[in-house]
Amino acid sequence: MATEARKTVGSPVVEGVGRIPGLGNCYTYCEGDEMFLIDTGFSRRAKSIVRAFGDSNMPMARVGKILLTHWHVDHMGGAAHLVENLHVPLACHANDAPFVDGRTKDPTPLLMRLFMRVHHAPVAISLKDGDRVGPLVVVHTPGHTPGSVVYHHPARKILFSGDSVVERKGHLTMPGTGFATSPDQAVQSLSRIRELDVEVMLPGHGVPVTSNFVPLLDDLIKRAPVEFLSRP
């Protein structure tokens, strides 16, 4: 049992963290007997996640909670299937919960919605800033969506950053402002992330950042107002 608890699902990043890449990254995090799934990818059948657990010979029943960084379909696509089949509680920030469970209509333009049908899922746990989920602290970083969060492990200096900060070609960046509810807030949220003690960043898109996080984030904070807020 002890060896099973230490096994990683997905490509190992650092001790306890596995990455399941796809259109959006999903991660597994294991500490002691607790296993969390952070984001669920695009596929409504959660295929890549189911495959990753199968490849590791890990029963999916080991997942104790599913944590969403925000409601976008490339992150919550597989949630409905997993909640239905595993009966795992799904957690996300209270501001994004109505989009995840379908109480609020998806504001995505119709044309995009035709390609990215959202499958809603019941939210068992509505999170707020400062909440703890096992060893992880919820930090509200609104802007990309109203309820975007990052999950911070203060002791291990690990950050699951969702789409609040992503990686592209060795740099940190943010998704295009066309996808953001409030680009101004998204830029402000970078300063909130800068206050956190982070060595390993696990982004929703791009590859994990395991060194130089602080200078890379400082560079983004410097560029962000021009890149994301300048208006013609």
- Which one, of 163, 102, 90, 153, lies nearest residue 127 by Cα? 90
Q: Of 28 and 148, which has the nearer Cβ to Zn ion? A: 148
CB of 2 vs Zn ion, minimal distance in Å = 35
- Specify the stretch interacting with Zn ion by CB under 5 A; choose among 12-20, 55-63, 69-77, 132-140: 69-77
Q: Between 16 and 206, whose beta carbon lies closer to Zn ion?
A: 206
**Are 82 and 37 a contacting pair, CB within 8 Å?**
yes
3-state SS, residue 59: coil
CB of residue 57 to Zn ion, shortest distance in Å: 29
User: Which amino acid is present at 9?
Assistant: V
Segments in the chain forming alpha helices (H): 2-6, 47-55, 73-76, 79-86, 97-101, 110-115, 183-194, 213-224
Q: Which of 10, 16, 22, 24 binds Zn ion (CB under 5 A)?
A: 24
DSSP letter for each residue of 163-205: TTSEEETTEEE---GGG-S-HHHHHHHHHHHHTS--SEEEESS
State which residue, 24 or 146, has the beta carbon closest to Zn ion.
24
User: 135-168 burial by CB neighbour count: b if 16+ within 10 A, else e?
Assistant: bbbbbbbbbbbbbbbbbbbeebebbbbbbbbbbe
CB of 72 to Zn ion, least distance (A): 3
Binding mask 141-180 toward Zn ion (x if CB under 5 A, else -) reads: ----------------------x-----------------
Q: Which two tokens stand for residue 178?
A: 């066309």
Binding residue (CB under 5 A) for Zn ion from 72, 140, 152, 156: 72
- 78 forms part of the interface with Zn ion (CB under 5 A): no
**Count of residues touching Zn ion (by CB under 5 A):** 5
Residue 204 sits in the site that holds Zn ion (CB under 5 A)? yes
**Quick check: 203 binds Zn ion (CB under 5 A)?**
no
Least distance in Å: CB of 140 to Zn ion? Answer: 15
Binding residues (CB under 5 A) for Zn ion: these are 24, 72, 74, 163, 204
